[in-house]
Structure 1
Amino acid sequence: MFTLLEKAVLGMALLRILSGGLEIFAAYLMIRFNELDKALIINGSLAFIGPLVLILTTAIGLTGLAEQVSFKKLILIILGVSFIIAGVKSN
């Protein structure tokens, strides 16, 4: 009847729920202030939070998979995440 969740999966899901809540709250603040300069400041702060959540959720997942994944695959996953962050951060 009840399914036990892995701690890593639960941690990743809770972090994503928190991130989604912050996104919704930021949208509310943008509408509430109704000023373009303040909306850009709020959006800029979200641009910092997004990659941070990506790194944290990936770290939690990799910690949970560390016993099951070979070292070579672990390096490839870390490299892939690094490419994603570099691509988003590039000018």
Structure 2
Amino acid sequence: MKRWISLIETSVLSMAGLRILSASIELTAAILMLIFNDVKKALAINALLAIVGPVVLVTTMTIGLLSMADQLSFSKLFFVGLGVAFILFGIYK
């Protein structure tokens, strides 16, 4: 198992780890909603999840872009960053 993990690129492993962490937080939130069995508490938990999603998105995109920075031109990096900005703008506006 250690040998298999050592073959995976560090940035890919970091991105996958963040996604696994995000999924664990989502699953925990769903279980808490079922345990509390209250609409107000479920909405509060859901509001907290609205923070987690974009943070994980931006962090994983940043890790990926930093690891690819030497392979992409500045204009391509600019357009990828602009795309992420549009996604966040669409979420919050």
TM bin, normalised by shorter chain, reads over 0.9
Structure 2 stretches lacking a partner, 5+ long: none
What's the counterpart of residue 55 of structure 1? 58
Q: Within 1, Cα distance between the matches of 2:72 and 2:41?
A: 44
Q: Does 1:13 align with 2:16?
A: yes
Summarize the alignment of residues 59-74 of structure 1 with structure 2, pairs less than 5 Å apart: 59-74=62-77
Q: What is the RMSD computed on CA atoms of the aligned residues?
A: 1.2
Q: Percent identity?
A: 50
Q: Within 2, Cα distance between the matches of 1:71 and 1:7?
A: 23
Q: Does 1:80 align with 2:83?
A: yes
Matched length? 90
After the TM superposition, which segments of 4 or more aligned residues of structure 1 sit over 6 Å from their partners?
none
Q: Within 1, Cα distance between the matches of 2:67 and 2:23?
A: 23
TM-superposed CA distance for 1:70, in Å, is 0.7
TM-superposition CA deviations, 1:18-55 (whole Å, max 9, x none): 00000000000000000000000000000011000000
Indicate which of 33, 36, 42 corresponds to 2:36: 33
TM-score by length of 1: 0.95
Structure 1 stretches lacking a partner, 5+ long: none
Q: Within 1, Cα distance between the matches of 2:40 and 2:46?
A: 10
